[in-house]
Amino acid sequence: MPHYDKRDFPLSEIREHLEPGPIVLVSSALEGRQNIMVMGWHMMLGFVPARLACYIWSENHSFEMIRRSRECVINVPTVDLAEKVVAIGNSSGRHKDKFAEFGLTPEKAAKVSAPLIKECYASFECRLDDDHMVEDSNLFFWEVVKAHVDRSVQARTMHYRGQGTFMIAGEELDMRNRFKPEML
Q: 90 or 174: whose pLDDT is higher?
A: 90
Reported confidence tier of residue 20, pLDDT bands at 50, 70, 90: low
Tell me the fold of 22-40+47-183: Pnp Oxidase; Chain A (2.30.110)
pLDDT digits (tens, 9 = 90+) for 57-93: 999 999 999 999 999 999 999 999 999 999 999 999 9
Highest-scoring range by mean pLDDT, 47-51, 79-83, 170-174: 79-83
What is the amino acid identity at position 28? S
Cis previous bond, 106, omega within 30 = no
Q: Are strands 122-130 and 71-76 parallel, antiparallel or unpaired?
A: antiparallel
* pLDDT for residue 175 is more than 80: yes
Question: Would you kindly state where each structural domain of the chain is located, as residue ranges?
Answer: 22-40+47-183
Contact call for residues 85 and 113 (beta carbons, < 8 A):
no
Reported confidence tier of residue 184, pLDDT bands at 50, 70, 90: confident
pLDDT digits (tens, 9 = 90+) for 134-163: 999 999 999 999 999 998 988 899 998 888
Q: 158 or 170: whose pLDDT is higher?
A: 158
Angle at 116 between CA 174 and CA 155, to 5 degrees: 20
Q: Which residues of 42-65 are buried (b: 16+ CB within 10 A; e: fewer)?
A: beeeeeeebbbbbebeeebbbbeb
pTM of the model: 0.90
What's the pLDDT at 19? 66
CA distance 129 to 115: 19
Region at 103 (left for phi over 0; alpha for psi -120 to 50; beta for the rest): left
